[in-house]
C-alpha cells in the first residue's frame, strides 16, 4: 500500500517492508551477493528470516515485522523487483515531516506511544509489527518513519562517498 505525497509529486510505501515480503523476494531471486555483501545478512544472529534448503521463510511470529539486516543493495534490488524505487533522502524527509517541518512524524514533541523506540518500554523487545503505532503516522499517513528499523534511501551520504543515507532511527535509538 502506498501513500501519496501529492504536493511533491511522489508516493512512498505506507509500511516498512515485512519479513514475509522480503522472504518472497528472496525465494524469487535468491540471496545474491552485491557490493561485497549479500542482500540479506542471513548469518546475523538478529535476522528474522531463516533459510531452509533454498527456501526463505520468516521466523515464527515475525512475518509482519519489518525486515532487518538488509544491505543497501538488497533494499535496492527488492524495490526493483517490486516495481518501485528507494526514495531520495529529501523525499523520505518530506514524507516524514510534511510541509511544516515537524521534528517527529506526529508532531514537535517525543511523547510516548507514537513509535517503537528505546527498547522494551513500549511492549516490544526489538522490532514491532509494521503499523503498530498509528498515532505516529506522518502527515501523509506513512507509518513507522521514526523508530522500529532504520530505512535506506537512494542518496549518497556525501559527494564522492559510497555510503548511503539511512533515516528514521530504530527500536533502539
pLDDT band of residue 158 (cuts 50, 70, 90) is confident
Q: Using one digit for the tens of pLDDT, what is the confidence trace for 6-35?
A: 888 999 999 999 999 999 999 999 999 999
Q: What is the pLDDT of residue 7?
A: 86
Backbone torsions φ then ψ of 5, nearest 5 degrees: -100, 70
Backbone torsions φ then ψ of 117, nearest 5 degrees: -140, 160
Whole-angstrom distance, CA of residue 32 vs CA of residue 39: 6
Q: How many CB atoms lie within 10 A of CB 170?
A: 18
What mean pLDDT comes out for the span 141-154? Answer: 96
What mean pLDDT comes out for the span 142-166? Answer: 91
Residue 120 has pLDDT above 80, yes or no: no
What mean pLDDT comes out for the span 113-129? Answer: 87
Enter the pTM of the model.
0.94
Amino acid at each position: 500500500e502506498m501513500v501519496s505525497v501529492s504536493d511533491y509529486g511522489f508516493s512512498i510505501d505506507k509500511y516498512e517492508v515485512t519479513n514475509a515480503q522480503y522472504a518472497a523476494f528472496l525465494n524469487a531471486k535468491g540471496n545474491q551477493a552485491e557490493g561485497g555483501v549479500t542482500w540479506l545478512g542471513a548469518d546475523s544472529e538478529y535476522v528474522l528470516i531463516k533459510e531452509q534448503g533454498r527456501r526463505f521463510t520468516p521466523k515464527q511470529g515475525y512475518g509482519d515485522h519489518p525486515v532487518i539486516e538488509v544491505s543497501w543493495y538488497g533494499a535496492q534490488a527488492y524495490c526493483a523487483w517490486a516495481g518501485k524505487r528507494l526514495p531520495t533522502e529529501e523525499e523520505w524527509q518530506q514524507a516524514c515531516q510534511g510541509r511544516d517541518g515537524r521534528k517527529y512524524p506526529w508532531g514537535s514533541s517525543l511523547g510516548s506511544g507514537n513509535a517503537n523506540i528505546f527498547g522494551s518500554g513500549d511492549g516490544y523487545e526489538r522490532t514491532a509489527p509494521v503499523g503498530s503505532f498509528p498515532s505516529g503516522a506522518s502527515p501523509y499517513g506513512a507509518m513507522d518513519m521514526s523508530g522500529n528499523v532504520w530505512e535506506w534511501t537512494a542518496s549518497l551520504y556525501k559527494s564522492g562517498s559510497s555510503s548511503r543515507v539511512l533515516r528514521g532511527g530504530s527500536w533502539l535509538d
